[in-house]
Copies of this chain bind each other. A is one copy, B any other.
């Protein structure tokens, strides 16, 4: 008679092994890009609160620096007087705070600053993984956008199996289905709009540019997935030629 108990155990073992071995660069990339996005959001939310609080101390400064990262860096590295001099603020509506009341503000600023640093480290790590795993894709789109596309597709394999028209509209699913359902105008681009070649183009050109870019991305990804040679440089030059 068949020993079902034994068979069951073996099957579970095998399943566990398969799961263990299925963890690949895809997972690292998707987790990195998700964390980078989350950190960006989180740092912005916290900086907004920091601005509120810091405004008791030096309200004029918050208005002069609109970039959040620069704002945090400056208040971490400089004292109130130095900031006033640099920003040409003669008289402030803010109060001098006692060391005790200033401490929590500076602590928050330091932590936010270290979140920005963490984001940079994660970006570096992502670039490394992307360059060893899908160098062609990463050359054309840059690590961030490439990772974003990979995340939306689910894996490199899935992305490689997609036709270029799907790649073009990844991230624009809502607009696409609205188009299919109600006959509204179809979307011209999804996430790849973030590519500098597309986002810097004139609005009337963006649809065409996205199509061309998606073509090249598709070729690059297929080459990566089937372990082809490095043709990223060539593809990039072609792309830039065509979109001149």
| A interface with B by C-beta (< 8 Å) | 16, 19-21, 23, 27-28, 31-32, 34-35, 38-39, 42, 45-46, 49-50, 52-53, 56, 91-95, 100-101, 103-104, 107-108, 111, 114-115, 118, 121-122, 125, 128
Contacts and interface: CB of A to CB of B under 8 A. Distances in A.
B104 A125 contact: yes
A118 B91 CA distance: 32
Given A111-B114, A114-B111, A121-B107, A34 B20 contact: no
A144 B49 CA distance: 18
A46 B52 contact: no
A117 to B, nearest CB: 9
A49 B32 contact: no
A32 B52 CA distance: 11
6 contacts: A16-B93, A27-B56, A35-B50, A38-B49, A100-B128, A111-B118
B115 A56 contact: no
A94 B23 contact: yes
Given A104-B122, A107-B122, A114-B114, 4 more contacts: A35-B46, A100-B128, A103-B125, A111-B111
A56 B31 contact: yes
A114 B111 CA distance: 8
A242 to B, nearest CB: 36
Contacts of A31: 49, 52-53, 56
A19 B101 CA distance: 18
B118 A108 contact: yes
Contacts of A50: 35
A52 to B, nearest CB: 6
A239 to B, nearest CB: 31
Contacts of A16: 91, 93
Contacts of A95: 20-21, 23
Nearest to A39: B46
Contacts of A91: 16
A107 B118 contact: yes
Contact of A46 (B23, B38, B56, B101): B38
A23 B32 CA distance: 42
